[in-house]
Amino acid sequence: MQKYYMTFSDECPKYIQIANNIRKLIEQEILADGEKLPSIRELAKFLKVNKDTIISAYKLLSQEGAVVQILGSGSYAKKKEIIRSFKKEYRETFKKLTSGGLKEWIDFTGETTSANFVPVNNLKKAINEVLDRDGAEALIYQDVMGYEKLRDSINDRFWNNEVSLDNILIVSGAQQGIDIISKSLINVNDNVAIEKPTYIGALNVFKWRKANIIEIPMEEDGVNIKLFEKILKRYKIKCFYMMSYFQNPTGITYSKEKKKKLLELSLKYDFYIIEDDYLSELIYDDSIEYYPIKKMDDHNRVIYIKSFSKIFLPGIRMGYIITPDEFRESFQISKSNTDISTSSLMQRSLEVYISKGYWTNHMEYIEKEYHSRYILMKTILENELKDLVDFIDPKGGLSFYITIKSEVNKNSKELFYILREKNTFITPGVMFYKNSKDGENTFRLGFSQVSSEKIIEGLENIYQGLKGR
Amino acid sequence: MQKYYMTFSDECPKYIQIANNIRKLIEQEILADGEKLPSIRELAKFLKVNKDTIISAYKLLSQEGAVVQILGSGSYAKKKEIIRSFKKEYRETFKKLTSGGLKEWIDFTGETTSANFVPVNNLKKAINEVLDRDGAEALIYQDVMGYEKLRDSINDRFWNNEVSLDNILIVSGAQQGIDIISKSLINVNDNVAIEKPTYIGALNVFKWRKANIIEIPMEEDGVNIKLFEKILKRYKIKCFYMMSYFQNPTGITYSKEKKKKLLELSLKYDFYIIEDDYLSELIYDDSIEYYPIKKMDDHNRVIYIKSFSKIFLPGIRMGYIITPDEFRESFQISKSNTDISTSSLMQRSLEVYISKGYWTNHMEYIEKEYHSRYILMKTILENELKDLVDFIDPKGGLSFYITIKSEVNKNSKELFYILREKNTFITPGVMFYKNSKDGENTFRLGFSQVSSEKIIEGLENIYQGLKGR
């Protein structure tokens, strides 16, 4: 008991101080992993505090994952998995990168388009045109659904006017789209299925909604359908979050058959498909046809999210959702409660940008640029690194997902540290899984932030790193 | 039982169809208010569906408030309170207003600054300066905490550089601020105290977090402290959401004593104060000193939210939070999961706008304009309507909260309908309360969207409406 002794300051609530103390005991391994904590009554008596204070402290630790509470049994210390501290370290490395602490580096962690390809001049023209045309209106107007002309343009250009305009909801980027959908759709303890591995930003939102998260492994043409159906038979699933093109991080594109099958399952087992179409503009191979699940969705089972941020202007948060009819009102209320509406000026500017044809031209331009990087990456990986790694050809998008061959005696976190010394940065697979242990032999190489010259240098560093030299 | 009979279509999940049907039965009063619904087993058998389907249907209805589930007893119909349909009607009226369905109207529902006072030219200058100076950087850079120079400007101009820069988090408007704080701070069934009446946008967020909401009545100098302490003695409160200046809707400003007392309580009973400082720029009376609770907060008990949208550019979502140290990281993660970051271009433009002195000039300008409207409103209310209504002089802000005298035989919803016929729009008090019944004899008159001429005409309409002529 003595190890729990502590004194209190007035600076912050006691329960936080107690939690801090216990967290420290666990981190310093004074409390072993799995060790039982004192009962609430005991510890309250020992520390001379109210029982509620201990309850709050244990609750806080339990929410953080530092303590496991088992009903009728008690509370147990849980050593934080290495993933947690690693994720933090990764984030900090990333922060240093973006805040310009480094002078020169090779950044394979990028997920969004490069500053070199941002169409500043045309966007500036569009913004000024909007300000001259609409004046204050552009700065004051708020419609929770978004600027009607933009929704109209989206419908016309991307959906052949086949979607009801009332079902297009403008959001401040795809991340907000996921958040808004979750708020309306997902309740505490609902079962949510995701791809394994998946986009961490979505995973975090579902965790935050306190959903039960069920991972379905990816195969070369989409998620493992058989396993998914097994799970559907046992559990009531509320929704399935997926990326139909160039799945993040695997780069995999769903086959038409799997997309159809998913739709069938969603009808049969009554769940919704959240289709995050984040990068489908960048198709480099004619074998890939663009046909999102939403286009096959005759029964209103698909909630479609599109981001304009990843590929166009990451610093401008913009995207849209296509909602099934039954969620139209609830998504709007969710949007309104989240941030009232998306910047009116930027919506209008994007509308002008699209209607003037800038959008199409720009997409053609960056497709060419990224296509050539893709070819270069693929060529080097296939030729120079073939004895060290495996990968699935993504045929599009902005990254490769690499598996280190088992005979190479290194995992991707080790590689991360080795490469960091050479100012080369990769994203280890562990970042894309719900639990640690998974993804140890994989990593993602995004090439949006790396020039051709640097790609050659960076892959050489990776080669050396894996070779152990 | 026969009244529950229905057939199913394939169009949408059965549980939704069942819920829709029961909702209709309640709305059409075929099911009486408080009538017990069949047991899950009974109804499942009768409709030949799985028990889970009925469970889901009842859960959905319960979440909507159309059904009350009592553990160990069963489920009961709950006639939707009139407030719900009225709120919907109010929203639709409002929508019609903003989408320009009407040609001419008198809009006392406004909460934000008028388009007439939006500084288009200076903002345009600021945006172009940023695009010329920063180029692509302005469109691509993402920092979850926000643009450092803007945070620095805020600290310098509004906080005398006394706040740690790491504790200033830029958000996309105050509504998002409330949402982000709630996600980090509030768990299911936590107790959240609010002012009664309060800002509906905050109320909705707390409801969404499935918090228990406890209303503390407002008095002329802030919330009823005695009653609050009684509640604090009985319940563990997680946080108290409040507006220290020109509280929405009452227009009340807290006395210094009450602010101090609140801080004391927050320490004693270990809860956080969420201070929403949404309109304090507009002080018309020297008796009001600007001193937010955050400035007195020596123990990190106050989470401060500031909006730039209400008073400056409603269509541009922008604001900031000052976080206590212990929430710094968790608020940042919450922000990142909500929408990654706030528009970089608009943050930079605002920074330029502030540092060039445009902000100060603009505030002085609109203070003058709104001050004169305030005087006019007050004069007419005090002189012409004194036999019909009471009100507390707000001495600042953009609205008056009016109480209809009991001898006037009309409530504010009736007045709303009468005035709507004359294209004059008010916000009935019922909009600001958790439950119906409350706020029946009050309404809010916002004057930001009403010119002096229209103020005179609008108040004349209200006079006539209350007189019943």
The 3 state secondary structure assigned to B187-209 is: CCCCEEEEEECCCHHHHHHHHHC
Q: Are A284 and A312 in contact (CB under 8 A)?
A: no
- The answer to whether the CB atoms of A11 and B300 lie below 8 A apart is yes
- In terms of Cα–Cα distance, which of A200, A186, A188, A180 is closest to A243? A200
Measure the CA–CA gap between B84 and B106, rounded to whole angstroms: 25
- The answer to whether the CB atoms of A208 and B183 lie below 8 A apart is yes
- In terms of Cα–Cα distance, which of B439, B428, B432, B462 is closest to B109? B428
Residue B255 has a pLDDT of 97
Measure the CA–CA gap between A163 and A160, rounded to whole angstroms: 8
Burial of A300 (0-12, 13-18, 19+ CB in 10 A): middle
B332 touches chain A (CB under 8 A): no
Looking up tokens 């032999």, which residue turns up? Answer: A441
B200 touches chain A (CB under 8 A): no
A15 touches chain B (CB under 8 A): yes
- The answer to whether the CB atoms of A316 and B98 lie below 8 A apart is no
The minimum CA-CA distance between B138 and chain A, rounded to whole Å, is 7
Residues A55-84 have a mean pLDDT of 77
Within 10 angstroms of residue B7's Cβ, the number of other Cβ atoms is 7
Closest partner CB to A340 (pick from B52, B141, B175): B175
A139 touches chain B (CB under 8 A): yes
**Fold (topology level) of B83-110+361-467:** Aspartate Aminotransferase, domain 1 (3.90.1150)
Which chain B residues in 225-244 lie under 8 Å from chain A, judged by CB atoms? 236
Chain A CB contacts of B315 below 8 Å: 138-142, 341, 343-345
At the second CATH level, the architecture of A120-357 is 3-Layer(aba) Sandwich (3.40)
Within 10 angstroms of residue A27's Cβ, the number of other Cβ atoms is 13
Which chain B residues in 402-441 lie under 8 Å from chain A, judged by CB atoms? none
Residue B449: helix, strand or coil by DSSP?
coil
Which secondary structure element, helix H or strand E, spans residue B139, and what is its range?
helix B137-140
The minimum CA-CA distance between B147 and chain A, rounded to whole Å, is 10
- The answer to whether the CB atoms of A13 and B270 lie below 8 A apart is yes
The minimum CA-CA distance between B77 and chain A, rounded to whole Å, is 22
Higher-confidence position of B458 and A90: B458
B317 touches chain A (CB under 8 A): yes
Strand partners, A215: A194
**pLDDT over 80 at A252, yes or no:** yes
B13 touches chain A (CB under 8 A): yes
Chain A CB contacts of B201 below 8 Å: 336-337, 340
Measure the CA–CA gap between B469 and B461, rounded to whole angstroms: 10
Phi, psi for B33 (deg, rounded to 5): -60, 125
Residue B11 has a pLDDT of 63
Residue B16 has a pLDDT of 82
According to DSSP, the β-strands at A237-242 and A191-196 are parallel
B128 touches chain A (CB under 8 A): yes
The amino acid sitting at B334 is S
A183 touches chain B (CB under 8 A): yes
- The answer to whether the CB atoms of A179 and B143 lie below 8 A apart is no
Prediction ipTM score: 0.79
Disruptive mutation site among A139, A186, A241, A332 for chain B (greatest number of B CBs within 10 Å): A139
Binned at pLDDT 50, 70 and 90, residue A436 comes out as low
Chain B CB contacts of A345 below 8 Å: 315-316, 346
- In terms of Cα–Cα distance, which of A33, A20, A122 is closest to A80? A33
- The answer to whether the CB atoms of B131 and A120 lie below 8 A apart is yes
- The answer to whether the CB atoms of B176 and A116 lie below 8 A apart is no
Residue B310 has a pLDDT of 87
- The answer to whether the CB atoms of B201 and A340 lie below 8 A apart is yes
Q: Are B394 and B246 in contact (CB under 8 A)?
A: yes
Contacting residues for A264 by C-beta, under 8 A, at least 6 apart: none
Residue B266 C-alpha from the chain's centroid: 22
Residue B170: helix, strand or coil by DSSP?
strand
Closest partner CB to B140 (pick from A16, A52, A315): A315
Residue A86 has a pLDDT of 77
Residue B70 has a pLDDT of 77
- The answer to whether the CB atoms of A127 and B127 lie below 8 A apart is yes
**pLDDT over 80 at A330, yes or no:** yes
Structural domain spans, chain A: 2-77, 83-110+361-467, 120-357
**pLDDT over 60 at A82, yes or no:** no
Residues A92-104 have a mean pLDDT of 69
B124 touches chain A (CB under 8 A): yes
Interface A–B counts its CB contacts (< 8 A) at 192
- CATH number attached to the domain at A2-77: 1.10.10.10
Low-confidence ranges of chain B (pLDDT < 70): 11-12, 64, 80-85, 94, 97-103, 436, 469
Measure the CA–CA gap between B167 and B303, rounded to whole angstroms: 10
Binned at pLDDT 50, 70 and 90, residue A211 comes out as confident
Looking up tokens 């990168």, which residue turns up? Answer: A97
String of DSSP letters for A414-438: HHHHHHHHTTEE-EEGGGGSSSSST
Looking up tokens 């739709």, which residue turns up? Answer: A263
A13 touches chain B (CB under 8 A): yes
B344 touches chain A (CB under 8 A): yes
**Fold (topology level) of B135-356:** Aspartate Aminotransferase; domain 2 (3.40.640)
Burial of B288 (0-12, 13-18, 19+ CB in 10 A): middle
Q: For A366-417, write each residue's pLDDT tens digit.
A: 999 999 999 999 999 999 999 999 999 999 999 999 999 999 989 999 999 9
Q: Which two tokens stand for residue B183?
A: 């996600």
Burial of A393 (0-12, 13-18, 19+ CB in 10 A): middle
- The answer to whether the CB atoms of A139 and B113 lie below 8 A apart is no
Residue A74 has a pLDDT of 83
Chain A CB contacts of B340 below 8 Å: 173, 175, 201, 309, 317
B166 touches chain A (CB under 8 A): no
- The answer to whether the CB atoms of A317 and B123 lie below 8 A apart is no
- CATH number attached to the domain at B2-79: 1.10.10.10
Eight-class DSSP state of B411: -
- The answer to whether the CB atoms of B337 and A205 lie below 8 A apart is yes
Measure the CA–CA gap between B386 and A237, rounded to whole angstroms: 60
Residue A11 has a pLDDT of 63
Chain A: residue nearest B333 by CA?
A204
